[in-house]
Amino acid sequence: MGLSEMLNIALMQGFAGISLFSVLLLMGLGLAIIFGQMGVINMAHGEFMAIGAYTVFMASTLTEKFAPALASAYFPLAIVLAFALAFAAGWLMEWALIRHLYKRPLDTLLATWGLSLAMQQCFRSFISPKEVSPTLPDWLMGSWAPKEGLDIPINGLFVLALTALVTALVMLALYKSRWGLRVRATVSNRAMANAIGIDTRRTDRLTFAIGCGIAGVAGAAFTTIGSTGPTSGSLYIVDAFLVVTFGGAASLLGTVVSAFGIAQTQSIGEFFITGSMAKVITLSLIVVILMIRPQGLFASKVRR
């Protein structure tokens, strides 16, 4: 194998790592808000991703049927729609279920797990028990080949850009907006936040809904790399919790760093040894680090 070929593969492998990083980060972001900021263990997070993915599938089916001319343009719109639908579902869920359980974290875990099973069965009964995948616009398919032998996947680039955008928006919202201020106040001291006139119930509802909305965006983006089935959500949930917990629950920066660390260890491991061994090594490393630092990589300074 020539030197330039080795360089090509090294470059593509580097991009594979970055691509996995963006996937993990996008998965973890919504959860970082719900679990990290609110402390709600939302086992149905994966199903909110599935809502987003199914939205894209519906949009694709409808576009094909009624407006085939828009086939190349529907995708960004579908992502916005995915956010809106998942946001609405999250809002409803918080009102109906979660708000009654804020002081009982273990019951929340059970309730949201039940919710996730119920949602899976709904997908299965009302949409399809088979896995579906939307027809993607041509510009999202294939690879970008700057030179012979070097192929950068376009869907990977797309997910990377989307992740960067969503992360930036979340950071801005959390640290520069009134909502972010209220959220952070509620997180650090709920009683005091209440006392100074912050409507913590409203804040909670909005926060939960935004977290779910971001999950919807993640699900929508993942239709470019995988399929969507009734149980797709349960595949994502473990990785999402892993990223958030490892990064330090309340820290958004922690989530970013942890997603990067996990993705690089995993993808480098996969390349040099086998896939299953790479997973073993990654998970063992996480266990060891969490034993040394139970609070995760980045702990927020909160007076308990």
Residues that bind another protein (CB under 8 A): 1, 9, 12-13, 15-17, 19-20, 23, 121, 124, 129-133, 135, 141-143, 145, 151, 153-156, 222, 224-227, 229-232, 235, 266-267, 270-271, 274-276, 278-279
**Shortest Å distance, C-beta 178 to another protein:** 38
Measured between its terminal Cα atoms, the distance across the chain in Å is 58
**Shortest Å distance, C-beta 273 to another protein:** 10
**Cα–Cα distance measured from residue 31 to residue 35, given in angstroms and rounded to the nearest whole number:** 5
Name the residue nearer to another protein (CB basis): 128 or 295: 128
**Shortest Å distance, C-beta 250 to another protein:** 28
**Shortest Å distance, C-beta 188 to another protein:** 36
What φ, ψ does residue 183 adopt, rounded to 5°?
-60, -50
Name the residue nearer to another protein (CB basis): 21 or 208: 21
Name the residue nearer to another protein (CB basis): 14 or 105: 14
**Shortest Å distance, C-beta 266 to another protein:** 8
Name the residue nearer to another protein (CB basis): 45 or 182: 45
**Shortest Å distance, C-beta 9 to another protein:** 5
As to burial, measured by CB atoms within 10 angstroms (0-12 exposed, 13-18 middle, 19+ buried), residue 268 is middle
Q: From the centroid of its chain, how far is CA 279?
A: 20
Q: Which residues contact 47 (CB under 8 A, 6 or more apart)?
A: 115, 116, 119, 120, 123, 233
DSSP assignment of 205-250? HHHHHHHHHHHHHHHHHHTTTS-B-TTHHHHHHHHHHHHHHHH-TT
Name the residue nearer to another protein (CB basis): 33 or 49: 49
- Beta-bridge mates of residue 132: 228
Q: What six digits make up the tokens of 164?
A: 């960067």
Name the residue nearer to another protein (CB basis): 16 or 256: 16
